[in-house]
Amino acid sequence: MKSFILRYSRVLLLIALAVALTLASPAFATRENLMNVVRQAALLTMLGMGMTMVIITGGIDLSVGSVLALTSCLAAGLIKSHQTAMWGVLLALGVGLMCGLLNGLMVAKVKLPPFVATYGLQWVARGIAYIFMSGRIIYGFGRGFRFLATGYLAGIPMPVVFMVAIYILFFFLMHYTTFGRSVYAVGSNRKAAELSGLKVDRTIISVYALNGLLVAFVGLLFISRLNAAEPQIGETFALEAIAATLIGGTPFSGGEGGVTRTLIGALILSLLSNGMNLLGVSSFWQPTVLGATIVLAILVEKLAALAERDAS
Amino acid sequence: MRVPESIFRKIKRLPGVLWALVALIVFFGISGKGFFTAYNLINICKQGSILVIVSMGTTLAILTAGIDLSTGSVLTLSGVTVGLLIHSGSPISVAILAGLGVGALCGLINGYLIAHLKFHHFIATFGMMGIAQGIALAVTQGAVVPGFDAAFRKLGDGTIFGLPVPVVVALLVVVATSIALYRTRWGAHVYAVGGSEQVAAWSGINTRRVKLAVYVLSGLFAAIAGVVLTARMNSASPIAGAGYEFDAIAAVIIGGTPFEGGRGGIVGTVIGAAVISTLKNGLNIIGLPTPWQITIIGFMITVAIVLDVLYQMRKDRVAS
């Protein structure tokens, strides 16, 4: 029973939250509102999944917000000056991939601690974004590009469609491929992974590169929704993505966890902020609720693990 | 068991960042009109004092291979506590004590989560960052608490023996930290925990107590900074401390204490804080906007990290 609670504590928390909100507010369980919750969670969920993959290798990527700002500013510049959005999109994805590669190389080859490597790139990327924009804001994109974040496919908002697609992709990648298994292996014991012949460096570099690519993609969705790009966007994204991962239950220690947990973590965060809005809780409390949720989620896990150990 | 760097090696480690400071002062002295005035230099010292106070705690946390992301929010919360209490009629001393108590309590919670419940330092202080920020916003309803009487403002504007009070407070905090760090067994334990927590524990050090104290001090120092800042601004703003955690981490890293912990120290941090305060002031005078300031500070952090890695690589090569 205990292990059941431990295993599904996040799902139970999500269900409990949903039930509580349904009882507390008649506006909660409407199709419109629920769609809103999922739409709000979509971008964060996608960033969270990339972050989760990085954290499973025992790493962290603090640069995601800045890389997102850099790629989307560069893309916005090209999109505005060309007929088609294609070149801007390609440039963004290319630069995102490069930034990720750079992170991966610094972590795998130069052996910098991931915290340090990505902390450094964070400032470099943000700086280039500022210099590129030199004080302007680029706004007003074409209808085609706006469709990416504001359109609907069969009645479902496009960001949600992308979120589901990327979730399925990551789930498959992490659990049904050699790459996914080596990600877990590297995170749980790098030495052992190396000794059993896994290409550890290549795995780590691929993980950061893939994350960079994903971040650039989310950046495109973000400016498509905002209909504008400026260099200070995304300053809190790295921390929010880490929060979704942690609340979902993927630990910092690496080798454990998964993207499904992060999906649940992001939904919990989104439900919390939606619930507070519906119940008229002052938005001033939002940071406190976010911080307390993270601490409580980890606390429950620690205490449950302790109880488990004592029982056996 | 002491793990001291010899004075000689300490001096050898310093020059990099010290030269950066000298270069900055010369550069701004030539290019920035009004930089080299007594008024402006005193202003830099006052501004820098608050950063120095905060970054002493951050240095301790990073020396143990930890981090404290909550200092900015804790600074805010303490400042707001003092402001609200004074406005509700509490005596100034009571209000200040309460503000410091709030900071120490936040630090105690951080420390308890990290040292006893084995929370990752990043998670615990990241959580506290949100918790303290939200409380500060909620109790003030997002509004600035304005205007205090002269007695309290002295903490920000007054002078003792000709020195501005914030500078005196910063000096006291630096001296207290250096005594604790370099003249007590506890200080040696801080280095030992940062060098290798496992080895420190095996050699009989109570690593929990060391880490708990580090985070309590970090919270307390942030609170002291919050009180001084509130007095100096003559108002308590619910976003007063935003960004201080970043500047403090930057001061520590630029000052030569690496994220891995176990080496470095507070002298470097003081110079690092001076570099950042001079840079911000100078860039303001030249008229560069804030984003550029952030970019340049970020660039300096990156340079400091790269230099440290190169230094370590060279040392490893010499050693092997």
Neighbours of A146 (CB within 10 A): 17
Q: Are A183 and A203 in contact (CB under 8 A)?
A: yes
- A110 to chain B, any CB pair closer than 8 A? The answer is yes
d(CA A80, CA A73): 11
Please say if the pLDDT value at position B261 is more than 80.
yes
Domain boundaries, chain A: 32-307
Nearest-CA residue of chain B relative to A112?
B309
Complex ipTM value:
0.82
pLDDT band at A273 (very low <50, low <70, confident <90, very high): confident
Of A237, A294, A302, A303, which to mutate for an interface test with B (greatest number of B Cβ within 10 Å)?
A: A294
Cβ of A285 and B302 within 8 Å?
Answer: no
Class of domain A32-307: mainly alpha
Which residue did the predictor score with more confidence, B171 or A35?
B171
Nearest-CA residue of chain A relative to B258?
A116
Q: Which residues of A200-209 are buried (b: 16+ CB within 10 A; e: fewer)?
A: beebbbbbbb
Please say if the pLDDT value at position B2 is more than 60.
no
Neighbours of A39 (CB within 10 A): 18
Distance of CA B220 to the CA centre of its chain: 11
Most confident residue range from A6-15, B113-122, B165-174, B245-254:
B165-174
Of A103, A233, A284, A289, which to mutate for an interface test with B (greatest number of B Cβ within 10 Å)?
A: A284
Cβ of B299 and A127 within 8 Å?
Answer: yes
pLDDT in tens, B31-86: 888 888 888 999 899 999 999 999 999 999 999 999 999 999 999 999 999 999 99
Please say if the pLDDT value at position B1 is more than 50.
no
Nearest-CA residue of chain A relative to B128?
A291
Q: Which of A116, A239, A284 faces B141 most closely, judged by CB atoms?
A: A284
pTM of the entire structure?
0.85
Nearest-CA residue of chain B relative to A294?
B127
Mean confidence (pLDDT) of chain B: 89
Of B254, B301, B312, which to mutate for an interface test with A (greatest number of A Cβ within 10 Å)?
A: B301
pLDDT in tens, A88-120: 999 999 999 999 999 999 999 888 888 878 988
Confidence (pLDDT) at A111: 81
Q: Which of A127, A231, A289 faces B298 most closely, judged by CB atoms?
A: A127
Coil/strand/helix, residue A156? strand
Average pLDDT over residues A181-205: 93
**Quick one: which of B65, B54, B299, B119 has its CA closest to A305?**
B119
Which chain B residues touch A286 with a CB distance below 8 Å?
134
Which residue did the predictor score with more confidence, A180 or B122?
A180
Domain boundaries, chain B: 7-313
Q: How close does chain B come to A214, measured CA to CA in Å?
A: 24
The CATH classification of domain B7-313, taken from the options 1.10.3470, 1.10.10, 1.20.1070, 1.20.140:
1.10.3470
Which chain B residues touch A126 with a CB distance below 8 Å?
294-295, 298
Nearest-CA residue of chain A relative to B66?
A115
Confidence (pLDDT) at A136: 87
Which chain B residues touch A291 with a CB distance below 8 Å?
126-134
Which chain B residues touch A123 with a CB distance below 8 Å?
294-295, 297-299, 301-302
Nearest-CA residue of chain B relative to A288?
B131
Q: How close does chain A come to B315, measured CA to CA in Å?
A: 16
Cβ of B119 and A285 within 8 Å?
Answer: no
Confidence (pLDDT) at A226: 92
d(CA A67, CA A71): 6
pLDDT in tens, A59-86: 999 999 999 999 999 999 999 888 788 8
Q: How close does chain B come to A286, measured CA to CA in Å?
A: 6
DSSP, residue by residue, A59-115: ---TTHHHHHHHHHHHHHHHHHHSSSSHHHHHHHHHHHHHHHHHHHHHHHTS---HH
d(CA A225, CA A216): 14
Average pLDDT over residues B153-174: 92
Confidence (pLDDT) at B284: 85
Which two three-digit tokens encode residue B86?
């004074």
Percent of chain A with pLDDT over 90: 54
d(CA A290, CA A269): 7
Confidence (pLDDT) at B182: 94
Percent of chain A with pLDDT over 70: 98
Average pLDDT over residues A246-269: 91
The burial class, CB within 10 Å (0-12 / 13-18 / 19+), for B171 is middle
Percent of chain B with pLDDT over 90: 59
Q: Show which residues on chain B lie within 8 Å of chain A, measured between beta carbons.
A: 113, 117-120, 122-124, 126-135, 137-138, 141-142, 238, 258-260, 289, 291-292, 294-299, 301-302, 305-306, 309
